[in-house]
Amino acid sequence: MIINVSEAKTNLSKLINLAFQGEEIIIAKNNLPLVELVKHEPTSKVVLGLLSSKDVDSYDDDILAEDDELNELFYNGEANLI
């Protein structure tokens, strides 16, 4: 569908819905095609959370495992009393 700029201004919401559904929308000025209205397709997978920039596979499987170095810092070399 080729549509002129002035008509596109008044029907923008309708044109957006049509483009989202896969319709080919071309906006023209003086019957000269200028731009094509297309559905946005993400270029990369979005990763949310604290581990978004980290390699998740590098972490231990047992998250509750004790770390001897941390125990030394917290308990000053004494046995774990918990």
- Predicted confidence pLDDT, tens digits, the chain (82 residues): 999 999 999 999 999 999 999 999 999 999 899 999 999 888 877 666 665 555 555 655 677 777 788 778 888 766 555 5
Give the whole-angstrom CA distance, residue 25 versus residue 16: 9
Contact present, 8 and 27 (Cβ < 8 Å): yes
Q: What pLDDT was estimated at residue 66?
A: 77
Give the whole-angstrom CA distance, residue 38 versus residue 43: 14
pTM of the predicted model as reported, rounded to 2 decimal places: 0.51
Record the tokens describing residue 27, joined without a space: 């906006």
Give the start-to-end residue ranges of the domains of the chain: 2-37
Q: What pLDDT was estimated at residue 15?
A: 96
Q: What pLDDT was estimated at residue 43?
A: 82
